[in-house]
Amino acid sequence: MRVAVFTLLPLLQALQVDASAGIPVSTFAGATTSFIFPPPGQTITVPDPAFPDAAQVGFPGATPTGAEAAVIATAPSVAKFSNVFPLVNPDTASSPSSSHSKSSSASQPFDVLHNFGNLSPWKSISAASWVLDPVLVNSSPSVPGDCALDQVHLVHRHGARYPSLITGNLPGEFAADIHALAQSGNLSVSGPLAFLATWEYKLGAEILTPFGRSELFDLGVGFRVNYGDLLEGFTDQLPVWRTTSQERMVDSALHFAAGFFGVQTYQQSYHQLIQIEEPGFNSTLSPYYDCSNALNAIAEFGSEQALLWANVYLVDAVKRLQPFVNGLTLTPTILVSIQQLCAYETVALGYSAFCPLFTEDEWTGYSYFNDLSFWYSFGPGNPSVSAQGIGWAQELLSRLTETRITSFDTSVNATIALNETLFPFGLPIYVDATHDTIISAIVTAMNFTALAKEGPLPTDHIPDDHVYIVNNISPFASNLVAQVLTCPVPATPALDASGNSTHIRFILNDAVLPLTGLSGCPSDENGLCPLGTFKDALAARIGEVDYQFDCFANYTIPSPDLITNGQFPQQGKN
């Protein structure tokens, strides 16, 4: 297995160290030192003799536990999630409507927060609103009809974070430029940009924001209400849930568990498997480190395509805002970084003065900017993406068939997959925490073609009936659930006389997904596919992905029109 080479040099260069205090010093504009809490020199002994914990104090009061909730299996409909408290949904600039996008109606206020692409908070969506499959128009995440829920597989993204130093930090670079201009006396701002005269860059890097922590806690609470009754199936062992070693990943997993089990009991209620997220370590939750073409120019293709669109949708914004700043020549690239600043400041600080600089059409344009970036870098339009998502698909098939993986030529970690303790079979609930680009890779690898049916995305306009929307696919705290069900469908091959599970379906951020991209899975009003059919189709799909070529071959991106399944075209290999 070849392993991609990766260096932390950009991160080390971006963070200098104050040798006198050992404190990271930001090279960006704004505060020059990172805030540290608890204060240096303050330590806590657990338990602290002066502050006994609840078990030592006693007197807990009555503690009877009620029956487990099962909303997903018992209620005719499930509560929709849209909580963004305490974030402020900002206003937009006033401007005549352009031809690039559709403005909101008076009865439906424009929602800036959910036009941030992969930087958006997650909210419930419906299949009818974006998959455009008429068969699913009335589908619901509630368990359909007389079906019984047997098992769930959840893969979710971490919560809202600060900008990444490793993958590039356009907001930080903009802040550094503004700071340098201000320090030299070469910056003059007025009108809507006057706030830049006193603005400070206050964002951290990489880790969860406070709002990001709440997202995962809420996700855990919601998962307990929807699926808590499945805990009754754990009769002789505890759940084993997985995440990776990045701090925001571990924090997300722990906050999810605290929401699901409760803050006083979660550490004793499950096993947390932490996979190393570094070059040289296989992990299906961070597979880019095992795929060279996920870390080179192949992966940058989406940025190139998105910038073509930026030169379309931000032309008016450049003209409108340039008169209010002297010393800095605005460009579409700079305005994209300012739109990112709005998103990052909002999910970190609650509000950003950068948001109202842009019109509704420009925010819709920014949303599509992210769609293009993901489609061509982390989705159906990039030839290395199915390879990155196929390892998790292999693990799902292994869990469903209770059969150990025997061939390790993808990102699957053999040490984990072959270990009954670390990778157990037959559990009612599985939970995996991962990244936005991996969720988009998984839905591509598993051939959920409803998300790709509009074909290659144009870079000069937003297509009608646009469905590949990153706000809906990979926002912060995005969650993909596979429900394994027993459904009494009479006289079908799916019905197992032994009483075993008969069907499966997938729900992305509360929207039921059609599975018709998998061979034999029917068009079904509830998104159901016979489980045996699905297993065979998934096994066939895994066999279609040429991991070694797509990840390691030395090639250039062929015509964008040739790739809609996340794989290098077969005819191009000859």
pLDDT digits (tens, 9 = 90+) for 409-468: 999 999 999 999 999 999 999 999 999 999 999 999 999 988 998 989 999 999 998 999
pLDDT band at 93 (very low <50, low <70, confident <90, very high): confident
| pLDDT at 365 exceeding the cut of 50 | yes
Q: Lowest-pLDDT range, 89-98, 247-256, 317-326?
A: 89-98
Q: Lowest-pLDDT range, 101-105, 223-227, 351-355, 505-509?
A: 101-105
Confidence (pLDDT) at 167: 66
Check: CB of residue 328 under 8 Å from CB of residue 187.
yes
Dihedral sign from CA coordinates of 487, 489, 492, 498:
positive
What tokens were used for 38?
């608890």
Extract the runs of DSSP E, i.e. beta strands, from 247-405: 271-275, 325-326
Q: Where are the alpha helices (DSSP H) in 190-331?
A: 210-227, 247-261, 301-313, 315-321
Could you say which DSSP state residue 236 is in? S
pLDDT band at 392 (very low <50, low <70, confident <90, very high): very high
Would the pTM count as exceeding 0.85? yes
Q: Lowest-pLDDT range, 40-54, 432-446, 500-514?
A: 40-54
| pLDDT at 26 exceeding the cut of 70 | no
Give 273's strand partners: 242
Dihedral sign from CA coordinates of 208, 210, 216, 220:
positive
Q: Lowest-pLDDT range, 19-23, 257-261, 312-316?
A: 19-23
Confidence (pLDDT) at 489: 53
Q: Which residues contact 533 (CB under 8 A, 6 or more apart)?
A: 493, 494, 518, 520, 521
Query: Which of 48-52, 128-132, 474-478 is predicted most confidently?
Result: 474-478
| Of residues 63 and 199, more confidently modeled | 199
Average pLDDT rounded to a whole number, residues 133-139? 89
Mean pLDDT computed over every residue of the chain:
88
| Of residues 497 and 403, more confidently modeled | 403
Could you say which DSSP state residue 9 is in? H
What tokens were used for 310?
């930026």
Reported as a single tens digit per residue, the pLDDT across 228-250 is 999 999 999 999 999 999 999 99
463-487 as b/e: b if 16+ CB within 10 A: eeebbbbbbbbbbbbbbbbbbbbbb
Closest alpha carbon to 379 in 315, 319, 453, 309: 453
Q: What is the largest CA-CA distance in the chain?
A: 80
Check: CB of residue 487 under 8 Å from CB of residue 528.
yes
Average pLDDT rounded to a whole number, residues 387-402? 98
What tokens were used for 183?
């320090």
Q: Which residues contact 301 (CB under 8 A, 6 or more apart)?
A: 376, 377, 381, 382, 557
Check: CB of residue 172 under 8 Å from CB of residue 214.
no
Closest alpha carbon to 25 in 232, 245, 176: 176
> Which residue's structure tokens are 């993808």?
410
pLDDT band at 31 (very low <50, low <70, confident <90, very high): very low
| pLDDT at 28 exceeding the cut of 90 | no
Reported as a single tens digit per residue, the pLDDT across 49-79 is 888 888 888 888 887 878 888 888 888 888 8
**Euclidean distance between CA atoms 78 and 70, whole angstroms:** 11
**Euclidean distance between CA atoms 559 and 524, whole angstroms:** 34
Domain with CATH 3.40.50.1240 in the chain: 120-162+209-287+378-562
Classify 120-162+209-287+378-562 by CATH class. Answer: alpha beta
